Amino acid sequence: MGLQGDASKEWFQRASQVLVNGVSSQFRYWGDDDTLVIERGEGGYLIDVDGRRYLDLQCGFGPIILGHGEPSVVAAVAEAAAEATSFAMTQRREVEAAEKVIAALGWPTRMRFTNTGTEATMHAIRLARGMTGRDVVIKFEGQYHGMHDYVLFSTAGGPPGGLGSRFRPNPWQSSSGIPDAIRSYIRTLPYNDLEIVERTFRNEGGQIAAVIVEPMLGNAFGILPAEGYLEGLRRLCDEYGAMLIFDEVKTGFRLGLGGAVAHFGVTPDIGTYAKALGNGFPVAAVALGEWAAEGWRQGGIAQAGTYSGNGIAASAAKATIEALEDGDAYARIEKTGTRMMEGLAKVLADRGVPGHVVGHPAMFSVFLAEEAPREFRDAARHDAHTYDTVVFKMIEKGVMPCPDAKEPWFLCAAQTVEDADRAVEAFADSLDEVLAGRSA
Ligand SMILES: Cc1ncc(COP(=O)(O)O)c(C=O)c1O
């Protein structure tokens, strides 16, 4: 018996006849009996084809920041759909949206729109290589930067125990089909360990084009940077002439309007944004400091995209930023998220279950181990079996975080403190059932 009701079962079987494994993205496949089919979203909730309601703590893997079907964003997109899609020319809505993005972020001098986070990080890396004339890129274990070949190494889907020595890590290839030669252009290092980054720069600084980093580990428990870590990356990039790329696809417009740059106070050369930028509509951006902007301005480093900056994406971004500027969305998320984090931590403490609630109120995870994690390798200590069992029970109770603990719980402004209490209660009841099953 799985999570599917009768209608989900029927729709999933239909889906499997046309979509491989019934999904359009491999991360959505939870198994043949557990992959639900959703009818619609409403504020902070999802409703599946059986009519079951779920408190949505996936928020689409991060994009939903205001709430599903946010009226002002829907209205802006509807207007644009009638007048402004793709013109093969710059359009008014695109300019207005870019002005909004640059003003909200505060640090870039220029930007360009793309359509997905994958496209944004691909362009960011090419730009860094084109500007520095170097090929090697440093990324960190447990971080995900999208689906292009250059970054599909040592992502959070990999085995934390199989990464080799931390001083000479193995880049774990997250997919077949990547040419062997690509591996020689990537260095996958443990996160939050500046000494290893420093040593890598000392050894081969002349070949390193860029450091690409999720400022906090948005794909590995929401682990936060240690004090001084991001500043250290900035210093090393400056010292060795490499570009610092912040992949803010998850943190951007989620930790606040200024994203991780404003939150942590460190400025990259290039920033990639997507997800919360469009409240669920497909829009992404590459934001550039002066040095990086010069690369595209002078030409010779390719960047293009048929749909980049299209009217629907641009209007979604503009309307989302306006709603985030005008309302109390971030204050609401902070309040709901803090209540949820504290509630979950208390549930663990009251039952003597070793664990930590890690991250930021807008994106956090439950890590089940004695000691809090500092880097992705610590995932080997997390009690995934207990966590997964608890989360499946929560979903049966109508509260839906991602069943993979490495994927943070995402909140949106449409959710309330009552929702926070509901989530904590579902977690407590589900954990109690698991513990009772063990002692029986
Ligand atoms: C940090 C980060 N970068 C890039 C991506 C890729 O974005 P997309 O799925 O829009 O291609 C993701 C997706 O989850 C992400 O979390």
pLDDT digits (tens, 9 = 90+) for 235-279: 999 999 999 999 999 999 999 999 999 999 999 999 999 999 999
CA gap 238, 347 in Å, rounded: 45
The Å distance, Cα 215 to ligand 1 centre, comes to 13
Q: Is 33 a catalytic residue?
A: no
d(CA 271, CA 244): 9
DSSP-assigned beta bridge partners for residue 139: 188
User: What separation in Å is there between the alpha carbon of 235 and the centre of ligand 1?
Assistant: 26
Q: Return the closest-CA partner of residue 272 out of 210, 319, 316.
A: 210
144 is catalytic: yes
pLDDT tens digits, 428-439? 999 999 999 988
Atom of ligand 1 nearest to the CA of 119: 11
Please report the atom of ligand 1 found closest to the CA of residue 214.
1
Q: Which atom of ligand 1 is nearest to the CA of 118?
A: 11
Query: How far is Cα of residue 345 from the mean position of the Cα atoms in its chain?
Result: 23
- Domains, the chain, ordered by start: 10-60+328-439 (3.90.1150.10), 84-326 (3.40.640.10)
249 CA to centre of ligand 1 in angstroms: 6
Q: How far is CA 425 from the centre of its chain?
A: 26
How far apart (Å, rounded) are the C-alpha atoms in residues 258 and 263? 7
Rounded Cα distance between 158 and 349, Å, is 30
Segments of the chain scoring below 50 in pLDDT: none
Measured in whole angstroms, how far is the alpha carbon of residue 31 from the centre of its chain?
Answer: 22
From CA 66, how far away is CA 412, in angstroms rounded?
5
Neighbours of 79 (CB within 10 A): 15
Residue 191: count of CB within 10 angstroms of its CB = 26
Q: How far is CA 179 from CA 134, 149, 156, 328, in A?
A: 19, 8, 21, 48
Residues 10, 22: contact at Cβ < 8 Å? Answer: no
Q: How far apart are CA 418 and CA 251, in angstroms?
A: 25
Residue 74 sits at φ, ψ, to 5 deg, of -60, -40
Measured between its terminal Cα atoms, the distance across the chain in Å is 22
Ligand 1, residues at Cβ distance < 6 Å: 61, 116-118, 121, 144-146, 214, 218-219, 247, 249-250, 274
Mean model confidence pLDDT for the chain: 97
Q: What is the pTM of this model?
A: 0.98
Q: Which of 48, 56, 193, 247 is catalytic?
A: 247
Name residue 279's beta-bridge partners.
Answer: none
> What is the phi-psi region of residue 42: left when phi exceeds 0, alpha when psi lies from -120 to 50, beta otherwise?
beta
How far apart CA 67 and CA 94 sit, in angstroms, is 23
Q: How far is CA 111 from CA 101, 105, 107, 238, 246, in A?
A: 9, 11, 11, 21, 14
127-150 b/e (C-beta count within 10 Å ≥ 16 → b): bbbbbbebebbbbbbbbbbbbbbb
Ligand 1 geometric centre to CA of 202 (Å): 30
The yes-or-no answer on residue 275 being catalytic is yes
DSSP annotation string for 363-412: EEEEE-SSS--SSGGGGGGS-HHHHHHHHHHHHHTTEE--SSTTSPEE--
Query: Active-site residue among 9, 139, 275, 318?
Result: 275
Residues 346, 427: Cα–Cα separation, whole Å: 11
Interval between CA 433 and ligand 1 midpoint (Å): 35
To test the pocket of ligand 1, the residue of 217, 249, 283 to mutate (highest count of ligand atoms within 8 Å of its CB) is 249
* pLDDT one-digit tens code per residue, 349-361: 999 999 999 999 9
Rounded to an integer, what distance in angstroms lies between the CA atom of residue 73 and that of residue 43? 12
In ligand 1, the atom with minimum distance to the C-alpha of 248 is: 1
Pocket test for ligand 1, best of 275, 281, 363, 406 (most atoms within 8 A of CB): 275
From 54, 144, 191, 229, the catalytic residue: 144
**Which residue of 143, 250, 308, 404 sits with most ligand 1 atoms within 8 Å of its CB, as the best mutation to test the pocket?**
250
Residue nearest to atom 8 of ligand 1 (CA): 117
Cα–ligand 1 centroid distance for 70 (angstroms): 22
Among protein residues, the one whose CA lies closest to atom 4 of ligand 1: 145
pLDDT at 1: 67
Mutate which of 28, 59, 118, 286 for ligand 1 pocket (most atoms within 8 A of beta carbon): 118
What residue has token string 């619609």? Answer: 40
Q: For ligand 1, what atom is nearest to the CA of residue 121?
A: 4
Ligand 1 atom nearest residue 284's Cα:
10
Q: What is the pLDDT of residue 273?
A: 98
Q: What is the atom index within ligand 1 of the atom nearest the CA of 117?
A: 7
Give the Å distance between the CA of 83 and the centre of ligand 1. 29
CA of 319 to the centre of ligand 1 (A): 22
